[in-house]
Each structure stands twice: as C-alpha cells, then as structure tokens.
Amino acid sequence: MIQSYKQQYDVRDNYDTIIIGSGMGGLSAGAILAKEGQKVLILERHYTAGGFTHVFKRKGYEWDVGIHYIGDMQRESPMKKLFDYISNGKIKWADMGDVYDRIIIGKKHYDFVKGVENFKKSIKGHFPKDQEAIDNYVDLIFKSNKAMGRFYMQKALPSFLRKLIGKWLRKGYLTYAGKTTYEILRSLTQNETLIKVLTGQYGDYGLPPKQSSFAMHASVVKHYFNGGNFPIGGSSQIVRTIDPVIEKSGGTILINADVDKVIVENNKAIGVRMQDDTEFYATNIISNTGIFNTYEKLLPTEVSRQHDLQNQLKKLQPSVSHACLYIGLKGSLKDLKLPKTNLWIYPEKGDHDSCVDHYLKDMNAPFPVVYISFPSAKDPDWPNRYPGHSTIDIITLVPYETFAPWQGSKWMKRGEDYNALKEKITQRLLAHLYEQQPQVKEHIDHYELSTPLTTQHFINYKEGEIYGIDHSPERFTHDFLIPKTPIKNFYLTGQDIVTAGIGGALFAGLLTASAMTGKNLMKKVMKS
C-alpha cells in the first residue's frame, strides 16, 4: 500500500535498497529486487507515484501523463515478459488495431500498419520506385536492434569485465548508434519525402533525423512493428500492480517524500537525508531522478568534485521539452467517432530538421510536429470508469526558454501573462485537432496545457525535458552512462542509462538490479 510521508507511515529502520524516484526505472528495479528477497523503500517527492506513468484527474476526467502507446505487448516479447514479471502478470494490454501511427504531411497521410510485411507493403504503395530502399531500411532496423543486446549487457558487467571485453561488446552497436538517422536513410534513398515519412515518429525520442542516433530511431521503429498497445484501466495500473510485489517482501513506496541528499561516508552511500532531516539507511542506494539531478543536487558537493562528475554532465544535453494539451469531451467514443490511431502532423514544406530550426527561431512559425492521441479510445475499460466522456492529448515541442521567465513561480499560480501564452499555444493546437477531427469541436468540456515548467515541477527534470538526456550519436559513446557510479553502493537507473521512454526505463531497472546483485536477471525474467 502506497503511503504518504506527511502522514503516519510504517517504515523499517533499515532497508536493503532505497530508490529515489518512483518512475518506471525505479519501479522496475524495486520490483525485481523485491523478487530477489530485498526490502525496498521507494521515495517519491510528489503526491502521486509513477513518474511519467502516473495519471491525473480533473472535473470528471482522467489523463495518462506519459504513456500513449507501448509496442510488442501482443506476443511473448522481452518487454512483455518483463512487465509480466514485475507485476505478477497483472497488467493487461489492449491492441490498438492495424494502424498504430498515421503520418500526416500537408494533405497526404501515410499509415504505419501492424506487421513487418504489412508495414513495408503500405509504404511501398506510396513509394513504388523505392521498394529496394524500403526493404534495406527494414533490414537495417533489425540489424541495429540485434546488436543492441550486447551493448546494454556490458553496462551491467563488473568493472574488470567491462574493461576487458566492454569495447568488443559495444563495437557492433556503435556502428549504428554512431551515425545520425538521416545519414543512414540518405545512404539508402535520395527521396526526401520517403525519409520524412519513415522518420515520422521522431517525436517518440525527441531529436529530428539530422541530430538523432540511428540506433535510437531503429529501436523505436522496431518496437512498434507489431503494433501499439495501451494498458487496460489506464497507466495507473502500472504502479498499482507493482506496489504489492514490493510490499510482499517488506518494502514500501512513500509519496510526498522529498530527499535532500544521499549520505556518503568514506566514498560509500549508506542512506538518504530527507528535507526535514529524517534519515533512512540501506545497503544500497539507487537514484532514478536523472543524471543531472543526481550529480548536481542529490550528491554532496565534495563527492561530486572528488569524482569530477560535473565534467561528465558537461558532455550531455537535456532532451527536448514539450507542451501537452489535455482535453476532456462530453460524448462517448461511439458518439464522437474517435480513432485509436495516433496522428503525427507535419508541415508540408521542409524536412524535419529545417522545420524545427524555423520554429526555434520564431515561435509563430508552424509547429514542427503535432502529435494527437486518443487515450479513451485505446482503453476498453474507459467506458466503465467514465461513461459518456472521452479524452484527447495533443503534444508539440516547446523550448524551455519560452517559459524560463516564469522559472521559480508556483504551479497553477504563474500569472496572467503565462496563462495568455498557454492559451495562444492551446488555440493553435486545437486548430490542428479540428482540421483532423472536426466533429469534436462542439463537445470539448475542459482543457488545460502543461508546459516544460509543469514537467519540471512533477518530474523534477532540469529543463522540463521529456526524455532525459539527448539521444544523439555522441550520447552512446559515453561509457559512464551505466548503473554503477564511482561511489560504492550507489547506482543509477532510468532512461538516462538506457534509452528514451517507458520501455527504456523499464529495462534500465533490470540492468541496475543485475549490476547490483551480480546476477543474470534477464535470463531469470525470460524463463518466468
């Protein structure tokens, strides 16, 4: 049972592992360690657990903050096996149907259809002269992902083994990770429209093709080849089903529990000090708060200086920040005819990178990407919880600098100018929605826009970024992005040590638990 730190709570004097942050990486690591018999304490600074998997409710509606769709849940994939393992098989998934993503460029649209051969057939139908390029592209997607296993496996190895064989294990994947998405695609085809379509999911990892690592792109693309899925009952089911697994081994999740510092003695992490000076102790400490927060805020300054951790941070860039418009509508799925398919909307002219550049220079330029999701249509349990109501999410890129003038102001109390800017962005996003789904216009009952400051407030990322650190080719060359830190018994988890999104954070928890215990836990998960 999740408890509040502000109220009377039942905690032990000592734990095997303390995890700071209850996002997907922390929940995954916590559940896996609990199944290894450890007593785990997860500390969450906000009033709700789950990080980007949490939901919020307003005026008779519910919105999922970070999960819009998950791939590979309709077969016994490694990700499905891992979700089953940490939830004791309690998380159930609904298939989104044949078309999971629709790429819209100007007046034309291109469907990403479930199944590799179906996907290729659909794209070839639009680009009949590029059939060989499309086949080669899909082959490279699979080759990149095949090389990925060794790359991430070496992150969990003991230090001496990483020094001995780590370079060899990384080499294959870095041939893909070390090149941009555009470089690889341009080597396959000269058709810029095809490249624009094939990279139409770049919003799932934040960087446009000329900046992003092809390995990151390939990971996302393959992830959805077997279609998209949504957790039945909403993404709150994730923390709801994992909490009993942690509790069964004597563990606890505390909300409203704000950690001030990790306690380090003789270069060994032994516990955490809370904002009210209460101290908790454990054999191991894991930070799931992102590498910037961890090294800049959680570790004592002298410890960061001792290991020159600031120099590591100088080599990294925060990923893109965003705005999300949460919409509540009166009317059922049937009444409103809402699709399950995600819509990715792009300007007709210009490649993705040039559209981003124009927008960053002039916020009045067309949005470089608008993503529209219909969560209530994806969840078959939604009508049971909210009959006669529906929801829509709309996401676009927004530079943190746009909202930086309000840095330090209080959530929901940032002033009229802030609200006016939000309303301006909102109306622009609604115009895109009405163009695609005009029937919803008269049914909107409530809307509110989150900004990078909202994300910063709830997730505590440095600049309100959505995907941790950037997924550029350079990111994959940094061999310090691993679970183990220079401080004994202190570990990292979350998407910064693997890749963007819920799936990356999920596997990061597995990597961290494996590094900590010295066990091949992936093998154990796959046999479960």
Q: Is the pTM of this model over 0.85?
A: yes
Q: Measuring CA to CA, which residue among 155, 152, 157 is closest to residue 173? A: 152
Residue 392: other Cβ atoms inside 10 A:
24
* pLDDT tens readout for residues 459-492: 777 788 888 999 999 999 999 999 999 999 999 9
- Rounded-to-10 torsion of CA 340, 28, 1, 89: 60
Question: Is 253 within 8 Å of 245 (Cβ atoms)?
Answer: no
The pLDDT tens digits of the residues spanning 372-413 come to: 999 999 999 999 999 999 999 999 999 999 999 999 888 888
Amino acid 29: pLDDT? 98
- Encoding tokens for residue 143? 């080759």
Cβ atoms 389, 336 nearer than 8 A: no
Angle (CA) 287-288-294 rounded to 5° is 50
Which domains are delineated in the chain? Answer: 3-53+233-315+478-527 (3.50.50.60), 97-226 (no CATH), 318-459 (no CATH)
- pLDDT at residue 221, as a whole number: 98
Partners of 43 in the beta sheet?
20, 254
3-state SS track over 67-97: CCCEECCCCCCHHHHHHHHHHCCCCCEEECC
Q: How far apart are CA 331 and CA 188, in angstroms?
A: 46
Among 278, 307, 126, 277, which Cα is nearest to 200's?
Answer: 126
According to the model, what pLDDT value does residue 40 have? 97
Share of the chain above pLDDT 70, in %: 100
The token duo for 77 is: 């994939």
Give 120-176 pLDDT, tens digit per residue. 999 999 999 999 999 999 999 999 999 999 999 999 999 999 999 999 999 999 999
Among residues 247, 246, 280, the alpha carbon closest in space to that of 263 is found at 280
Region of residue 249 (phi > 0: left; psi between -120 and 50: alpha; otherwise: beta): alpha
User: 245 exposed, middle or buried (CB, 10 Å; 0-12, 13-18, 19+)?
Assistant: buried
Question: What whole-number distance in Å separates Cα of residue 447 and Cα of residue 483?
Answer: 39
Using one digit for the tens of pLDDT, what is the confidence trace for 286-295?
A: 999 999 999 9
Q: Would you tell me the crossing angle of helices 131-153 and 159-177 to the nearest 10 degrees?
A: 170
- Are 102 and 342 in contact by the 8 Å Cβ rule? The answer is yes
- Sequence-separated (6 or more) residues with CB below 8 Å from residue 331: 388, 389, 390, 440, 443
Query: Which CA distances in Å does 376 have to 62, 112, 176?
Result: 9, 21, 37
Residue 432 pLDDT grade (very low, low, confident, very high; cuts 50, 70, 90): very high
Question: According to the 3-state scheme, what is the secondary structure of 477-505?
Answer: HCCCCCCECCCECEEECCHHHCCCHHHHH
Question: In the structure, what pLDDT confidence band is assigned to residue 456 with cuts at 50, 70 and 90?
Answer: confident
Residue 342's φ and ψ, nearest 5 degrees, are: -75, 145
